[in-house]
Amino acid sequence: MYSHDCTVTAVYACTVGEYVVMVRASNLLSNESAAMAFIAEKPVAGLSINTSSEYIQVDSEVFFQAVVDCGTNVHLDWSFGDLESAVNAGM
C-alpha cells in the first residue's frame, strides 16, 4: 500500500468565520475529494475584572464583571475563592 503526505499552510488574517477547506487528489485512473470545516477565531486578550466593592459584609451580594478587549466565542470560568464557581459563563 502506498501512502503520501503533503502539507500546505494557509493564513486566515483578520477574518473571523467558518471556512471549508477542500482538497482533490487525482491520477490517470481516479480522483477523490475530501473537505473539512473549521472556525477561525481571534484569541482572547486584555482580560480584566471589575467589582462593585473590594470590601463586603458577610452574607451580602457583590457583583463581578469580566471585560475582554479582544476575542471571539469567549467563555468564562469563574472561581470565587470560597469553593463556589461558575463554569462556561459566556460573554
pLDDT (tens digit per residue) in 2-48: 677 888 888 887 788 999 999 999 999 999 999 999 999 999 999 99
Distances (CA, A) of 2 to 5, 29, 86: 10, 15, 51
Predicted confidence at residue 91, as pLDDT, reads 66
Strands 31-40 and 17-26: antiparallel
Distance CA 56, CA 53 (A): 7
**pLDDT band with cut points at 50, 70 and 90 for residue 88:** confident
- Overall average pLDDT of the 69-75 stretch: 90
Q: Where exactly are the structural domains of the chain?
A: 45-90
